[in-house]
Amino acid sequence: MSNEPQRRRVARFRIRGISGAITTPQEAEVLDLSVTGALVEHQGMLRVDAICFLDMPTTAEPLTIRCRVVHSRVSRREAEGALYYQTGVEFLDLNPAAEQALEALIRSYGAPRGGEWEGA
């Protein structure tokens, strides 16, 4: 990873403990999240620019978000040889209700209103 600061349109908030699913049916751990995208860790490589779906638990009901893969890199290898990837995704076509559900989920992890938290 580069030590250069990342340029994002919206700050991301580091979280732990959320499991979702990316594409079909791979379990993925959400590492950071904003209303414009997320960083997830999962098994199996995803191709840059591929369209995928991220299922997220929210307080109301599960949310399925259409995404575009921005990057995907090997993050670790398990002792038995399984490869894990960290993949950055950009959310596509979010409607206002989905955006509000994401904002509420992010706030539930301690972020203040308006996304004015320290970005990761």
- Quote the CA–CA distance of 61 and 10 in Å, as a whole number: 24
Does the residue 61 lie in any domain? yes
Q: How many domains is the chain built from?
A: 1
Domain ranges, residue 96? 13-111
Provide, rounded to the nearest whole percent, the portion of the chain with pLDDT above 70. 78
Q: List, in order, residues 6 or more apart from 68 with CB less than 8 Å away.
A: 49, 50, 51, 52, 89, 90, 92
pLDDT of 39 > 90? The answer is: yes
pLDDT tops 60 at residue 115: no
Q: Please report whether residue 50 resides in a domain.
A: yes
